[in-house]
Amino acid sequence: MSLQATMNAPCATGRVARRSVKVSAISAPPTPARAPSATGSVKRAMTMTEKILANHSDNAAVKPGDNIWTKVDKLMTHDVCGPGTFGIFQKEFGPNAKVWDNERVVIIPDHYIFTSDARANRNVDILREVAGKYNIKYFYDITDRSNFKANPDYKGVCHVALAQEGHCKPGEVLFGTDSHTCNAGAFGQFATGVGNTDAGFILGTGKLLIKVPPTMRFVMDGEMPEYLQAKDLILQIIGEISVAGATYKAMEFSGSAIEGMNMDERMTICNMVVEAGGKNGVIAPDQTTFDYVKARTQEAFEPVYSDGAANYIADYKWDVSKLEPLVAAPHSPDNRKKARECSDVKIDRVYIGSCTGGKTEDFLTAAKLFHRAKRQVKVPTYLVPATQKVWADVYTLPVPGCDGKTAAEIFEEAGCITPAAPSCAACLGGPRDTFARMNEPEVCVSTTNRNFPGRMGHKEGQIYLASPYTAAASALKGFVCDPREYM
Amino acid sequence: MLAAQKRALVAQRPGRQSCVRVCAKVSKKDGEPRVIRGKCFVTKDNIDTDQIIPAEYLTLVPSKPDEYEKLGSYALIGLPDDLYTTRYVKDGQMKTEYPIIIGGQNFGCGSSREHAPVALGAAGAKVCVAESYARIFFRNCIATGELYPCETTVRLCDELQTGSEVTVDMDKNVLTDHSTGKTYQLQEIGEAGPVIDAGGIFEYARRQGMIKTA
């Protein structure tokens, strides 16, 4: 057998060989010596994040700490920050300026939509105005607030919509005027949140000055127990390193548990990178990624992978089979506790929704637990599908192993409140009349991403962040509850 | 901490107004020292953007002048009342008495909303001195030019009290507490300084000839 057949040669994009190979002997071909002056820039080993940024800048290679100008593939904005972003763009680049590329700006109203607040509604009108003025190709408009289904373009929560509409692609650079833009790192791209001014700058130039972050590696190995979800893994990590543990850093997630996850679960993990202070999160793209992306866009993409010899500033490793369902107790996402250790905490409500925990997978799994338990919730249980597509899935997809029932049917049988119109809703409080906003000081178990004081409305509200399983179990118990009690 | 806040209230001398000309953005003139004197407002660790400017006020668009002013009136209104008995902006007022904010670790964590540094700047904050910042907030302070995000290795939030008169000298990198006479070392503001002096990234870029005005 020739050596070539026994070796997994790295492919052109520098992909790391995954399978270990027994190599008995290597004979390298002789290479001529190169004079130092002729070598130019040295090709150094880089992490995925570094490579993506190098590819998008004028540098063959970059290293952490470098300040570089990066080209931008997509810029996303929504109703809270869009008006301000375009206001800055118009002020700084002038009334006759055009955006750098009208097909690379995605405008997604999602935050304060189903409200009578006049200013919130005006902000969506402003988005419509700028989308028209600048001929923005992707504007997911809503005009009929009384019936979300009557709006063919409206999608819902921006980060989930970006993925579902095929805007997330391996190897690309995405900026958004929202901290959870890091969600898209699940697709093996560089994605992070910026403010209105930076976004206004991108609108005019298609570039941004950023500092290359060093990468922390988190390896999640082993087989996921049936009661454990991606949310438990990211809460484990944030609890470990704290809310500032990854400040200015990239978080790279790998391991067999990650590889076994679908895109919804991978997004949940990358979504909360910002809760650890992280700049961006990445997961190496694989067939799961390619299948998802190719089903949603014809546009080409080039996946990028970390070099085997790349430098990581920190390495963490977990055997997920040993982990337990967690919550983040009030008032910080790093206030990690085991769900079973909070069983004496009486709760007033449960919320399942948001970009973090309102995707199809989140609702299907919550429904699965309700179905297995065969009883009714003890507290008001609010359900907010992130997008129109998720809402449709909740009403049409049979939940695996549940006698052909849909999630909506199971939720109704369990006594949950009817799933609401897709939007960010109460994840961040919002105007007073927002669906499920916490207007009294209550205790809530939520599949959302932050639990700082006042996050869901009332300053004295107590929010326990949890996985869909834990949220569903808690709804059934009326207390914070480990999902194993119903499995 | 409640006792400390009470002491600060008692220590305030009502006859001595700290005359701070409060205005939007920093816009320091060339040659002027980068020095700010005034009353300080002390906060602790992990002050997140929901506490700086609660989400319900995000319908205000910062690039509209009247809404910009309104944002300022709500600055730090999300701070829990039991921990912070002194409001950053008094009820019914539009501007703050405290041009200097003291923070602990991870100041400005949470959302990417630029409304956070904008609300602080619109209220009249000129400089924040904290142990560390969340990255998007830090970036937004500089891009907007709304306030200087100064860093210090000293845990000033445990040393200073709300209402104390202090001077933040970003040329000499020293903070002076006039109520005690003590001085504290500050980190260099570095490249961020000139950008904020100019009033933000666009104005700075224009003055440097980096972009032509359209």
Above 0.90 for ipTM, yes or no? no
Contact A148, A142 (CB under 8 A): yes
Please enumerate in sequence order all residues whose Cβ is within 8 A of that of A230, keeping only pairs 6 or more positions apart, or say none: A261, A265, A266, A268, A269, A467
Question: Is the Cβ of B144 closer than 8 Å to some Cβ of chain A?
Answer: yes
The burial class, CB within 10 Å (0-12 / 13-18 / 19+), for A341 is middle
State yes or no: pLDDT of B178 exceeds 80: yes
Kindly determine whether residue B56 and residue A430, on different chains, have CB atoms separated by under 8 Å. Answer: yes
Which chain A residues contact residue B143 at CB under 8 A?
Answer: 195, 197-198, 201
A204: its two tokens? 């005019």
* Maximum alpha-carbon separation in chain A: 76
* CA A258/CA A284 separation, integer angstroms: 9
What are the DSSP E strand ranges found in chain B?
Answer: 35-42, 100-102, 127-130, 148-151, 165-169, 174-177, 183-185
Residues from chain A contacting residue B58 (CB–CB below 8 Å): 80, 111-112
All structural domains of chain A: 49-320 (3.30.499.10), 327-485 (3.30.499.10)
Beta bridge partners of A18: none
The pLDDT score that the predictor gives to residue B192 is 87
Quote the pLDDT of residue B208.
82
Please list every residue in chain A whose beta carbon sits closer than 8 Å to the beta carbon of residue B113. Answer: 80-81, 179, 195
Residue B93 CB-density burial (10 A; 0-12 exposed, 13-18 middle, 19+ buried): middle
The winner for highest mean pLDDT among A17-21, A189-193, A429-433 is A189-193
Per residue in A32-47, is it b (16+ CB within 10 Å) or e — as a string? eeeeeeeeeeeeeebb
Contacts of A424 (CB under 8 A, 6+ apart): A110, A111, A112, A157, A354, A355, A430
SS3 content of chain B, % helix, strand, coil (to 5): 30, 15, 55
Interface of A with B in 425-444 (CB under 8 A): 428-432
For residue A80, the distance in angstroms to the closest alpha carbon of chain B comes to 6
Q: Which of A234, A130, A258, A257 is nearest to A180 (CA)?
A: A234
pLDDT of residue A42: 55
For A:457-486, CB contacts with B below 8 A are 457, 459-460
Q: How confident is the model at residue A420 (pLDDT cuts 50, 70, 90)?
A: very high
Amino acid at B100: I
Query: For the sheet containing B127-130, what is the strand order?
Result: B148-151, B127-130, B100-102, B35-42, B165-169, B174-177, B183-185
Measure in Å the smallest separation between the Cα of A299 and chain B Cα atoms.
29
Phi-psi region of A255 (alpha: psi -120 to 50; beta: other; left: phi over 0): left
A58 — pLDDT class (breaks 50, 70, 90): confident
Most confident of A209-213, A234-238, B31-35: A234-238
Side chain identity at A486, as an amino acid letter? Y
- A119-135 average pLDDT score: 97
The β-bridge relationship of strands A349-353 and A381-384 is parallel
CB contact residues (below 8 A), chain B span 88-107, against chain A = 105-106
What is chain A's mean pLDDT, rounded? 92
Q: Which amino acid is at A44?
A: R
Residue A65: pLDDT band with limits 50, 70, 90: confident
- A154-182: per-residue pLDDT in tens? 999 999 999 999 999 999 999 999 999 99
pLDDT digits (tens, 9 = 90+) for A216-231: 999 999 999 999 999 9
Tell which phi-psi region holds residue A374, choosing left (phi > 0), alpha (psi between -120 and 50) or beta: left
Beta bridge partners of A215: A250
Q: How far is residue A447's CA from residue A461's CA, in Å, rounded to a whole number? A: 15
Q: What ranges do the domains of chain B cover?
A: 35-208
On chain B, the residues whose CB falls within 8 A of the CB of A455 are: 50, 55
Is residue B167 within 8 A of residue B149, CB to CB? The reply is no
Count CB pairs under 8 A between chains A and B: 138
| Interface mutation vs chain B, best among A197, A272, A356, A449, most B CBs within 10 Å | A197
Which residues of chain A from 210 to 239 reach within 8 Å of chain B, CB to CB? none
Partner residue opposite A112 with nearest CB, options B51, B59, B111: B59
Please name the residue ranges forming H helices in B75-214: 115-123, 135-144, 156-159, 192-198, 201-207
Phi/psi for B128 (5° steps) reads: -115, 135
A266 neighbors A303 (Cβ within 8 angstroms): no
- List the CATH code of the domain at B35-208: 3.20.19.10
Least confident of A251-260, A355-364, B11-20, B97-106: B11-20
Place of tokens 């790391």: A16
Residue B11: is its pLDDT beyond 60? no
Q: Sort out which chain B residues have CB atoms less than 8 A from A196's CB and list them.
A: 62-63, 114
| φ, ψ (nearest 5 deg) of residue A244 | -120, 10
Alpha-helix runs per DSSP H in A165-227: 196-205
Are the C-beta atoms of residues A399 and A367 closer than 8 Å to each other?
yes
**Other CB atoms within 10 Å distance of the CB of residue A441:** 12
Partners of residue B135 in chain A, C-beta under 8 Å: 247-248, 277, 279
The pLDDT value given to residue B207: 85
Residue in A with minimal Cα distance to B146:
A197
What would the two tokens of residue A436 be? 């499920």
pLDDT the model gives residue A62:
94
For residues A480 and A415, give the distance between their C-alpha atoms in angstroms, rounded to a whole number. 18
Listing DSSP states for A216-230 in one string gives: EEEEEESPPPTT--H
- CB contacts of B111 in chain A (<8 Å) are 178-179, 193, 428
pLDDT of residue B212: 59
Burial (0-12, 13-18, 19+ Cβ within 10 Å), B113: buried
Q: Is the pLDDT of residue A9 over 60?
A: no
Q: Rounded to an integer, what distance in angstroms lies between the CA atom of residue B163 and that of residue B97?
A: 9
Q: Could you read off the pLDDT of B110-167 as tens digits, one per residue?
A: 999 999 999 999 999 999 999 999 999 999 999 999 999 999 999 999 999 999 999 9
Q: Decide if B61 and A126 are in contact by the 8 Å CB cutoff.
A: yes
Q: How far apart are CA A372 and CA A374, in angstroms?
A: 6
**Is there a contact between A195 and B143 if contact means CB atoms under 8 Å apart?**
yes
| Residue A277 to residue B109, Cβ atoms within 8 A | yes
| The pLDDT value given to residue A115 | 96
Instruction: Using an 8 Å CB-CB cutoff, list chain B residues near A179.
Output: 110-113, 136
pLDDT at residue A16, rounded to an integer: 38
Instruction: Give yes or no for B110 touching A (CB within 8 A).
Output: yes
